[in-house]
Amino acid sequence: MIHETAIVHPTAELADDVEIGPYSIIGEKVKIGKGTSIGSHCVIDKWTVIGTGCQIYQYASLGPPPQHMQYKGEETSVIIGNNNIIREFVTIHRGTPFGNGKTVLGDENFIMAYAHVAHDCILGNHVVMASYAALGGHVEIGDHAIIGGIVAIHQYVRIGTYAFIGGATALTRDIPPYITASGMKVKFYGINVVNLQRSNVPAEVIKGLRKAYKLLFRSQLTMEEAIQKVHDDPAYALPEVKHMVDFIKGSKRGVTRR
């Protein structure tokens, strides 16, 4: 059902059962999938694609131009997957032609009120962003990561899968997978055991990750020496441990190590 006060651009493509609330605006060449509901006073700007079963709450703004001084109106997009919950006043800006060209959210993410996702960010699946969390441009967030409230993440930073970032944290470097981190001067607090257990990750894997964590972040070794130690350990046979090491080796901004 489309409310009589809503404005829908004639080029927009909406599934038959999409709901559009009062005073919302659906822009040019927007695509919205089956079972998605758009609350009141939302703006879904041009070239935005929203999948099936999403819930977009009032005053959300999806797909406006990126906050980038070099952007000149080129056709870029926001791509949102299926079964996402996007709460009040969330802003998600479209990509830039000199970045990914698109800002991407996967499936089953929960983006809480007032959160901001800047241009060219890529979020995986089952990500939680609490209220007032803000991502700079080109940030990457892995599957099952949790970003606490009032968290600020610098552009190009990567957050690994299953990482947990506590509230009021400021990040300028990458946070590897499976790690709990928090604080304005960021500190690590071990492996994110609670989230892993909730996802039924085997105890053997958690044990291996803890062992690798101690070598990488709690030893007096250099990072190169620590990585070699992890390589030589039987725990390296676990895909999760290898993923953590590969993430660190692939870091361009550097990895927080505290």
Q: Please identify every residue annotated as catalytic.
A: 119-120, 137
Cα 128 to the center of its chain, rounded Å: 8
